[in-house]
Amino acid sequence: MSNNIALDLGTSNTRIFTSAKGKVLDEPSVVSYDADTRDIIAVGTEAYNMIGRTPGRICAEYPLTSGVISDFGLVEDLVSALLHKLNTSKLLMPKVVACVPGEITDVEKRAVVNAISSIGVRKVYLIEAAKAAAIGAGLTITDSHGVMIADIGGGTADIAVISLGGIASSCSVKRAGNYMDEEIVKYIRKKYFLYIGTRTAELAKMTIGCVCPPEEEKTFVMKGRDAVSGLPRSIEVTSSEIMEAIFETALNIVKSISKVMEETPPELVGDIHTDGITISGGLSKLTGFPELIERVMKIKVNIPENPSDCVINGCGKSIPYINAADDINSTIINPLVEAY
Ligand SMILES: Nc1ncnc2c1ncn2[C@@H]1O[C@H](COP(=O)(O)OP(=O)(O)OP(=O)(O)O)[C@@H](O)[C@H]1O
Ligand SMILES: [Mg+2]
């Protein structure tokens, strides 16, 4: 029985998959630590609950930004603590399939590999996020028929057209869900002179946010600090207001999908026209996003079951390709691109 695992180190959430059990862990990519001693206090959900609520020396942070590592040490701590939550004795020295965003530099790629290797894994195999998402969504990527996938998460929107196991055209947008949260924070500060935290902004985006004019106006109560008096204050915001704050970011992602389509060879465009575009990632659940893409692109949009899990499931489904990746004589189309 192999003890290999798959890891989706996402900007917002980290997910782990084992061949035996499928997805075994899904927690926010957050670490809280003592700023003076650098001692880790909590990781994952526990650390997420501390964001914006920590006293003086304690910091609670996302150590990845736009899909790449912004604090190397913290990512190491995050990965090792999350893996520790699994029964590590059974996972001694596993091989790991990990995904990376489409457009990252070799240095950034290396950082991901090193952070994972540092916790004692034997070898790390990389797969592009969009390819993993397509496999996880159940699309066939190995024949000559083209498929288009957009995995839209917290830090990046990875868009790609794939055929014969390779990427025909692609784009990785660095402004996605988290950027929308920041836009909401700015909007509320400007319009209501109220300071709110990004967690409140994210909750509003998930509960009442939309990117198509809402059929029914919903409201959300936001609590924060008055910018002038410094005192606590609450306001009620509507779906239309959240849409005003986040629409540009959503439209920018749709424009990138359109750009990728323009760069795609015409035969493959024909395939996509017939089958539609598949979207995955947490942001694909944002109300009105599929409709916005359909309206601009004039192509149907498919959403797989559990869109947030497509990438980790695709990484997991690629674990069996590890042996072929190690075999230099193998001629099969392998979704795993590089091994370290
Ligand atoms: N129901 C929902 N409505 C709107 N947004 C949502 C919903 N559920 C999740 N999100 C947003 O999706 C984003 C997280 O998506 P996901 O878990 O796919 O990201 P990630 O894989 O961690 O990041 P990335 O792949 O960009 O590095 C967050 O911005 C979150 O607010
Ligand atoms: Mg992701």
At residue 88, the pLDDT reads 58
* Residue 135 reports pLDDT greater than 90: yes
Q: Ligand 2: distance of its center to the CA of 244 in Å? A: 25
- The pick from 179, 206, 313 for probing ligand 1's pocket by mutation, whose C-beta has the most ligand atoms within 8 angstroms, reads 206
Q: Ligand 1: distance of its center to the CA of 64 in Å? A: 14
Task: Looking at the CA of residue 178, tell me the nearest atom of ligand 1.
Answer: 29
Model pLDDT for residues 8-20, shown as the tens digit of each residue: 999 999 999 998 8
Q: State how far the alpha carbon of 293 is from the alpha carbons of 110, 196, 257, in Å.
A: 34, 30, 9
Mean pLDDT of 182-194: 98
- Residues 85, 164 share a domain: no
Model pLDDT for residues 249-281, shown as the tens digit of each residue: 999 999 999 999 999 999 999 999 999 999 999
* Percent of the residues in the chain that have a pLDDT greater than 90, as a whole number: 74
* Residue 331 reports pLDDT greater than 90: no
Model pLDDT for residues 238-253, shown as the tens digit of each residue: 999 999 999 999 999 9
Q: State how far the alpha carbon of 197 is from the alpha carbons of 176, 183, 211, 248, 321, in Å.
A: 18, 11, 21, 21, 43
Q: Ligand 2: distance of its center to the CA of 172 in Å? A: 12
- The pick from 127, 283, 313, 315 for probing ligand 1's pocket by mutation, whose C-beta has the most ligand atoms within 8 angstroms, reads 283
- Residues 122, 165 share a domain: no
Rounded CA-CA distance 238/333 in Å is: 49
Domain that holds residue 188: 140-303
The alpha carbon torsion through 260, 262, 268, 274 (nearest 10 deg) reads 90
- Residues 321, 192 share a domain: no
| Ligand 1: residue whose CA is nearest its atom 19 | 153
Rounded CA-CA distance 54/47 in Å is: 10
At residue 2, the pLDDT reads 62
Task: Looking at the CA of residue 311, tell me the nearest atom of ligand 1.
Answer: 21
Model pLDDT for residues 75-88, shown as the tens digit of each residue: 999 998 998 888 65
Say how far residue 237 (Cα) sits from the centre of its chain. Answer: 27
Mean pLDDT of 120-126: 89
At residue 322, the pLDDT reads 87
* Residue 110 reports pLDDT greater than 80: yes
- Residues 264, 152 share a domain: yes
Q: Which residue has the tokens 């590999």?
A: 113
* Residues 6+ away with beta carbon under 8 Å from 303: 278, 279, 280, 284, 290
Assign 326 a pLDDT band (cuts: 50, 70, 90).
confident
Nearest ligand to the CA of 184 is 1
Going edge to edge, which strands form the sheet with 31-34? 40-43, 31-34, 58-61
Rounded CA-CA distance 133/161 in Å is: 12
Mean pLDDT of 127-156: 96
CB 33, CB 59: distance < 8 Å: yes
* Residue 321 reports pLDDT greater than 70: yes
- Residues 285, 191 share a domain: yes
At residue 91, the pLDDT reads 52
Say how far residue 2 (Cα) sits from the centre of its chain. Answer: 27
- Binding-site residues, ligand 1, Cβ < 6 A: 10-13, 67, 153-156, 176-178, 202, 205-206, 209, 281-283, 285-286, 308
Q: Ligand 1: distance of its center to the CA of 290 in Å? A: 15
Q: Ligand 2: distance of its center to the CA of 78 in Å? A: 16
| Ligand 1: residue whose CA is nearest its atom 9 | 282
Rounded CA-CA distance 153/157 in Å is: 6
Q: Ligand 1: distance of its center to the CA of 206 in Å? A: 9
Kindly report the average pLDDT of the chain as a whole number.
93
At residue 324, the pLDDT reads 79
- Residues 11, 108 share a domain: yes
Q: State how far the alpha carbon of 34 is from the alpha carbons of 17, 51, 187, in Å.
A: 30, 13, 32
- Residues 157, 53 share a domain: no
Q: With 0-12 CB in 10 A as exposed, 13-18 as middle and 19+ as buried, what is 274?
A: exposed
Mean pLDDT of 165-178: 95
* Residue 90 reports pLDDT greater than 70: no
Q: Ligand 1: distance of its center to the CA of 168 in Å? A: 26
Higher pLDDT, 290 or 38: 290
| Ligand 1: residue whose CA is nearest its atom 12 | 282
- The pick from 69, 112, 308 for probing ligand 1's pocket by mutation, whose C-beta has the most ligand atoms within 8 angstroms, reads 308
Model pLDDT for residues 208-229, shown as the tens digit of each residue: 999 999 888 999 999 999 999 9
User: Which tokens go with 108?
Assistant: 């950034």
Mean pLDDT of 186-190: 98
Nearest ligand to the CA of 11 is 1
Rounded CA-CA distance 325/277 in Å is: 29
- Residues 200, 182 share a domain: yes
Mean pLDDT of 147-173: 96
Total structural domains in the chain? 2
- Residues 168, 126 share a domain: no
CB 67, CB 101: distance < 8 Å: yes
At residue 1, the pLDDT reads 47
- Residues 286, 165 share a domain: yes
Going edge to edge, which strands form the sheet with 13-18? 22-28, 13-18, 5-9, 95-100, 123-128, 338-339
At residue 89, the pLDDT reads 55
CATH classification at residue 194 = 3.30.420.40
CB 60, CB 7: distance < 8 Å: no
Q: Ligand 2: distance of its center to the CA of 10 in Å? A: 5
- Residues 232, 329 share a domain: no
At residue 92, the pLDDT reads 66
- Residues 189, 43 share a domain: no
CB 309, CB 133: distance < 8 Å: no
Rounded CA-CA distance 324/336 in Å is: 9
